Structure 1
Amino acid sequence: MFFFEFYELGNLAHKLHSEEWSPSIDQALVIALQLAEALQYLHNLGIVHRDVKPANILLGENFSPCLADFGLAEYIKDLKKSSFLNWKSSGKPTGGFHKKNMVGTLIYMAPEILKKEIHTEKSDVYSFAVSVNELLTGIVPYTNLRAEAEAHTVLEMSYTEQKLIAAVVSDGLRPVLAVSELGAPLRLLSLIKQCWGQDPNNRPCFTDIVAELSSIRDEVKNAEVKKIIVPEPTISAQLSIENNPSSQIYGGSVNWSTQGAEISSEISIVGALNTSTSYDFLNDESSYKPVLSWGSFAACGQRETMEDTHFLIPGICDLKDVYLFGVFDGHRGAAAAEFSVQALPKLLQHFYSNGISPAESLIKAFVETDNAFRSALDSHRKFKGLIKKDWHPGCTAIAAFLVKSRLYIANAGDCRAILCKAGHSIALSRDHVASCLEERDRVVKEGGAVTWQLDTWRVGPAALQVTRSIGDDDLKPVVTAEPEILETPLSPEDEYLVMASDGLWDVMSNEEVVSIIRDTVKEPSMCAKRLATEAAQRGSKDNITVIVVFLRPVTTAERIY
Structure 2
Amino acid sequence: MGGCVSSYADGVKRKSGEKRGRLFDRRDCVVDPAELLAKVESGQVLTDSELQSVPGRLFFNGSSEAACLFTQQGRKGTNQDAMIVWENFGSRDDTVFCGIFDGHGPFGHMVAKKVRDSLPLKLCTQWKAAESDQNSSQSEAVPQLNGNSEDGSGKYEWSEPIDSSDDKFPEIYHILRQSLLKSFKSMDKELKLHPTIDCFCSGSTAITLIKQGQDLIIGNVGDSRAVLGMREEDGTLEAVQLTVDLKPNLPREAERIQQCKGRVFALQDEPEVARVWLPNNDSPGLAMARAFGDFCLKDYGLISVPDITFRHLTDKDEFIILATDGIWDVLSNKEVVNVVAAAPTRSMAARALVDAAVKAWWHKFPTSKIDDCAVVCLFLKGSKPASSQSKNHGLEKSTVAVAAQGNEIEIVAAVDPGEDKSKSMEQSGRRLADCLSTADEEEWSALEGVTRVNSLINLPRFLAGDKRSTSWRKWL
With the shorter chain as reference, the TM-score category is 0.5 to 0.7
How far residue 309 of structure 1 moved from its aligned partner, in angstroms, is 0.8
**Correspondence for 1:487:** 310
Classify 1:467/1:553 alpha carbon distance in 2 versus 1 (closer, same or farther; 3 Å): same
How far residue 555 of structure 1 moved from its aligned partner, in angstroms, is 2.5
Cα distance in 1 between the residues matched to 2:319 and 2:313 = 10
Classify 1:501/1:391 alpha carbon distance in 2 versus 1 (closer, same or farther; 3 Å): same
3-state secondary structure, aligned to 1:476: coil
How far residue 343 of structure 1 moved from its aligned partner, in angstroms, is 0.7
How far residue 483 of structure 1 moved from its aligned partner, in angstroms, is 0.7
**Correspondence for 1:62:** 31
Q: In structure 1, what residue type is equivalent to 2:241?
A: A
Q: How many residues align structurally?
A: 289
Give the percent of matched residue pairs that are identical in Structure 1 and Structure 2: 26
Say whether 1:301 aligns with 2:96.
Answer: no
**Correspondence for 1:325:** 98
Which one is further off, 422-431 or 445-454?
A: 445-454
**Which structure dedicates a bigger proportion of its chain to helix?**
1
**Correspondence for 1:398:** 207
Does the Cα contact within 8 Å between 2:214 and 2:313 map onto a contact in 1?
Answer: yes
3-state secondary structure, aligned to 2:296: helix
Q: In structure 1, what residue type is equivalent to 2:130?
A: G
3-state secondary structure, aligned to 1:350: helix
**Correspondence for 1:511:** 334
**Correspondence for 1:270:** none
Deviation string 1:268-303 (CA, Å, 9 cap, x unpaired) is xxxxxxxxxxxxxxxxxxxxxxx9610001000222
Does the Cα contact within 8 Å between 1:292 and 1:551 map onto a contact in 2?
Answer: no
3-state secondary structure, aligned to 1:347: helix
Say whether 1:417 aligns with 2:226.
Answer: yes
**Correspondence for 2:405:** none
Which one is further off, 304-313 or 350-359?
A: 350-359
3-state secondary structure, aligned to 1:354: helix
Classify 1:558/1:340 alpha carbon distance in 2 versus 1 (closer, same or farther; 3 Å): closer
Cα distance in 2 between the residues matched to 1:260 and 1:335 = 19
Classify 1:543/1:557 alpha carbon distance in 2 versus 1 (closer, same or farther; 3 Å): closer
**Correspondence for 1:147:** none
Classify 1:407/1:301 alpha carbon distance in 2 versus 1 (closer, same or farther; 3 Å): same
Classify 1:326/1:427 alpha carbon distance in 2 versus 1 (closer, same or farther; 3 Å): same
Say whether 1:371 aligns with 2:209.
Answer: no
Cα distance in 2 between the residues matched to 1:362 and 1:439 = 20
Cα distance in 1 between the residues matched to 2:303 and 2:357 = 29
Q: In structure 1, what residue type is equivalent to 2:69?
A: S
How far residue 375 of structure 1 moved from its aligned partner, in angstroms, is 1.4
Cα distance in 2 between the residues matched to 1:553 and 1:62 = 32
How far residue 412 of structure 1 moved from its aligned partner, in angstroms, is 0.4
Q: How does 1:128-277 map to 2 (within 5 A)?
A: none
Does the Cα contact within 8 Å between 1:260 and 1:341 map onto a contact in 2?
Answer: no
3-state secondary structure, aligned to 1:473: coil
How far residue 557 of structure 1 moved from its aligned partner, in angstroms, is 6.0
How far residue 60 of structure 1 moved from its aligned partner, in angstroms, is 4.2
Does the Cα contact within 8 Å between 2:68 and 2:350 map onto a contact in 1?
Answer: yes
3-state secondary structure, aligned to 1:305: coil
How far residue 63 of structure 1 moved from its aligned partner, in angstroms, is 7.8
Which one is further off, 493-502 or 359-368?
A: 359-368
Deviation string 1:173-209 (CA, Å, 9 cap, x unpaired) is xxxxxxxxxxxxxxxxxxxxxxxxxxxxxxxxxxxxx
Does the Cα contact within 8 Å between 1:260 and 1:338 map onto a contact in 2?
Answer: no
Residue number among 295, 301, 316 corresponding to 1:473 in the alignment: 295
**Correspondence for 2:274:** 457
Cα distance in 1 between the residues matched to 2:259 and 2:344 = 48
Residue number among 406, 412, 431 corresponding to 2:245 in the alignment: 431
3-state secondary structure, aligned to 1:463: strand
Say whether 1:554 aligns with 2:376.
Answer: no
Say whether 1:315 aligns with 2:284.
Answer: no
Question: Taking structure 2 as the reference length, what is the TM-score of the superposition?
Answer: 0.55
How far residue 407 of structure 1 moved from its aligned partner, in angstroms, is 0.5
How far residue 558 of structure 1 moved from its aligned partner, in angstroms, is 7.5
Does the Cα contact within 8 Å between 2:103 and 2:204 map onto a contact in 1?
Answer: yes
Say whether 1:358 aligns with 2:160.
Answer: no
Classify 1:550/1:430 alpha carbon distance in 2 versus 1 (closer, same or farther; 3 Å): same
Cα distance in 2 between the residues matched to 1:468 and 1:375 = 19
**Correspondence for 2:112:** 337
How far residue 391 of structure 1 moved from its aligned partner, in angstroms, is 4.8
Greater relative contact order (CA < 8 Å, ≥ 6 in sequence): 2
Classify 1:259/1:367 alpha carbon distance in 2 versus 1 (closer, same or farther; 3 Å): farther
Cα distance in 1 between the residues matched to 2:101 and 2:83 = 6
Cα distance in 1 between the residues matched to 2:31 and 2:223 = 37
**Correspondence for 1:95:** none
Does the Cα contact within 8 Å between 2:249 and 2:264 map onto a contact in 1?
Answer: no
Deviation string 1:124-173 (CA, Å, 9 cap, x unpaired) is xxxxxxxxxxxxxxxxxxxxxxxxxxxxxxxxxxxxxxxxxxxxxxxxxx
Question: Taking structure 1 as the reference length, what is the TM-score of the superposition?
Answer: 0.47
**Correspondence for 2:359:** 537
How far residue 482 of structure 1 moved from its aligned partner, in angstroms, is 0.3
Cα distance in 2 between the residues matched to 1:514 and 1:483 = 25
Classify 1:558/1:359 alpha carbon distance in 2 versus 1 (closer, same or farther; 3 Å): same
Cα distance in 1 between the residues matched to 2:176 and 2:348 = 30
Does the Cα contact within 8 Å between 1:335 and 1:393 map onto a contact in 2?
Answer: no
Q: How does 1:17-36 map to 2 (within 5 A)?
A: 17-19=21-23
Does the Cα contact within 8 Å between 2:200 and 2:295 map onto a contact in 1?
Answer: no
Cα distance in 2 between the residues matched to 1:16 and 1:511 = 30
How far residue 352 of structure 1 moved from its aligned partner, in angstroms, is 0.6
How far residue 553 of structure 1 moved from its aligned partner, in angstroms, is 1.3
How far residue 260 of structure 1 moved from its aligned partner, in angstroms, is 13
